[in-house]
Structure 1
Amino acid sequence: MSPRRRSYDQYCSAARALDVVGDRWTLLIVRELLAGPRRYTDLHADLPGVSTDVLASRLKDMERDGLATRRRLPPPAAAYVYELTARGRELLPVLQALGGWGAGEMDERRPTDALRAHWFALPLLSALEGEGVVEVRLEEGDFHDGVFHLYAGATDGPAYGEGPAPREPDARLTLDAGTCAAVGRGETSLPDAVRAGRIEVTGEGVLAKALREAAA
């Protein structure tokens, strides 16, 4: 039997939610799993600062609480991956709201701050209107891989993914991390950034055309 988790012991929905996701690292693990199934080693690589023991413990807690599941990939991969349940995916708007609230803290990047390109996925998803696949390329020299893709308007499945889009995207955006942060802080909208030349939009899909029209 799994040990009883720590609880605030309050009959309050906010307290009950924090009983489940309030531990350090849990919501950041959710952020990573919103990209779809991830191997333990990939999660550890994209959560700099977390110990292997804490990551393993949090994943077990998330399985116990119905937020995530673990399954074995078929051969030739034969590896285990973790993925969100439907209840876990319901945390997407929670993370987007939390990111919006915390955007005001995104001033200058500190020398100790780790950075991954796909960490800008959720703010950009919040700023996009419409449905479709959007490929994003960040023009920054310190990214291991500055390309990721978004599933705008998706109600199930992954919210985003690392690397190029798996199919021809509805739009391609090229921008820098500073512009991403500015969009997340609400200092500029996507159309305004396109109009100002801070975002290059290519593609002939509905989303690309809508962005160019809005910026005209």
Structure 2
Amino acid sequence: MPRQPRRRSYDQYCAAARALDAVGDRWTLLIVRELLAGPRRYTDLHADLPGVSTDMLAGRLKDMEAAELVTRRRLPPPVAASVYELTDRGRELLPVLRALAAWGAPALGEPRPTDAVRAHWFAIPLLTALEGLGAGVVQVTLDEGEFHVRTGGDGQVEYGEGPAADAQVRLRTDTATCRALAGGELTLAEAVASGRAELHEELGEERREELRASAPLS
């Protein structure tokens, strides 16, 4: 029997169905997760999406371009490369990924032997905890790498892979603490007070003392 073509639409007059028509395929939202950290080359996307085939990734990116979630542009000389980046509509998926991360955090458990780990994958689950630090740039360092989160005075947040030269707060912790923070088992104040996280501020120690003071006594 010939293989049936992949279904392209649910053909349902429903907002949720329309959304899933665009982002419900395997890998699509994880590509969005990567591009929320900034423009990426195809090779960088493939490296940070372990398990995806080159054909699958190329196909998903093509579908996402057609859905106006992603655009591709050529970098100016001397860099001879193209990058993919999210459109405004694509960036509007951040709250969707935040909700999915909050829902999935309690199911993380301990990493499985087959699990890949990237530091910036913790950015979305930690956004709520890091927003409590106020507007500014927070750099987070794990054994697996670094990422940074920018929170504006208007409440808008974005994150990026790697360190930030203009970081105002530097947080060092581990994946187990990230998992506890994401799952609501631990607050940032409790993590700092217990020594599971180190918080250093470029503008002084006042906020760190506030965090320690707000942690419950053991």
**Is 1:180 aligned with 2:178?**
yes
Q: Evaluate the alpha carbon distance shift between residue 118 and residue 60 of structure 1 in structure 2; reply closer, same or farther with a 3 A threshold.
A: same
1:162 maps to 161
Q: Evaluate the alpha carbon distance shift between residue 73 and residue 158 of structure 1 in structure 2; reply closer, same or farther with a 3 A threshold.
A: farther
**Is 1:151 aligned with 2:155?**
no
**What is the deviation of 1:154?**
8.0
**Is 1:214 aligned with 2:211?**
yes
SS at match of 1:137: strand
Distance (whole Å) between structure 1 residues aligned to residue 101 and residue 73 of structure 2 = 29
2:75 maps to 73
Deviations 1:143-174 (A, max 9, x none): 3xx11111124879982122210x32110000
Q: Is the 8 A contact 1:190 1:211 kept in 2?
A: no
Question: Taking every aligned residue pair, what percent have the same amino acid on both sides?
Answer: 67
TM-score (norm 1): 0.89
Q: Evaluate the alpha carbon distance shift between residue 42 and residue 209 of structure 1 in structure 2; reply closer, same or farther with a 3 A threshold.
A: farther
TM-score (norm 2): 0.88
Distance (whole Å) between structure 2 residues aligned to residue 21 and residue 203 of structure 1 = 38
Distance (whole Å) between structure 2 residues aligned to residue 154 and residue 115 of structure 1 = 31
Distance (whole Å) between structure 2 residues aligned to residue 19 and residue 155 of structure 1 = 31
The residue type equivalent to 1:118 in the other structure is H
Distance (whole Å) between structure 2 residues aligned to residue 33 and residue 132 of structure 1 = 21
Distance (whole Å) between structure 2 residues aligned to residue 87 and residue 43 of structure 1 = 20
Q: Is the 8 A contact 1:30 1:84 kept in 2?
A: yes
**What is the deviation of 1:122?**
0.8
**Is 1:84 aligned with 2:86?**
yes
Q: Evaluate the alpha carbon distance shift between residue 180 and residue 156 of structure 1 in structure 2; reply closer, same or farther with a 3 A threshold.
A: same
The residue type equivalent to 1:20 in the other structure is A
Q: Evaluate the alpha carbon distance shift between residue 38 and residue 154 of structure 1 in structure 2; reply closer, same or farther with a 3 A threshold.
A: farther
Distance (whole Å) between structure 1 residues aligned to residue 185 and residue 31 of structure 2 = 28
Larger CA Rg, structure 1 vs 2: 2
Distance (whole Å) between structure 2 residues aligned to residue 151 and residue 15 of structure 1 = 32
Q: Is the 8 A contact 1:191 1:212 kept in 2?
A: no
**Is 1:135 aligned with 2:139?**
yes
Q: Evaluate the alpha carbon distance shift between residue 209 and residue 170 of structure 1 in structure 2; reply closer, same or farther with a 3 A threshold.
A: farther
2:58 maps to 56
SS at match of 2:21: helix
Distance (whole Å) between structure 1 residues aligned to residue 177 and residue 67 of structure 2 = 37
SS at match of 1:9: coil
Q: Is the 8 A contact 1:89 1:156 kept in 2?
A: no
Q: Is the 8 A contact 2:201 2:208 kept in 1?
A: no
Q: Is the 8 A contact 2:68 2:87 kept in 1?
A: yes
Q: Evaluate the alpha carbon distance shift between residue 185 and residue 157 of structure 1 in structure 2; reply closer, same or farther with a 3 A threshold.
A: closer
Q: Evaluate the alpha carbon distance shift between residue 15 and residue 210 of structure 1 in structure 2; reply closer, same or farther with a 3 A threshold.
A: farther
Distance (whole Å) between structure 2 residues aligned to residue 209 and residue 52 of structure 1 = 49
CA RMSD of aligned residues (A): 2.2
Q: Relative contact order: is structure 1 or structure 2 higher (C-alpha 8 Å, sep ≥ 6)?
A: 1
Distance (whole Å) between structure 2 residues aligned to residue 25 and residue 56 of structure 1 = 11
Q: Is the 8 A contact 2:130 2:138 kept in 1?
A: no
**What is the deviation of 1:211?**
4.7
Structure 2, unmatched stretches of 5+, are 1-5, 214-218
Q: Evaluate the alpha carbon distance shift between residue 182 and residue 33 of structure 1 in structure 2; reply closer, same or farther with a 3 A threshold.
A: same
Q: Evaluate the alpha carbon distance shift between residue 212 and residue 42 of structure 1 in structure 2; reply closer, same or farther with a 3 A threshold.
A: farther
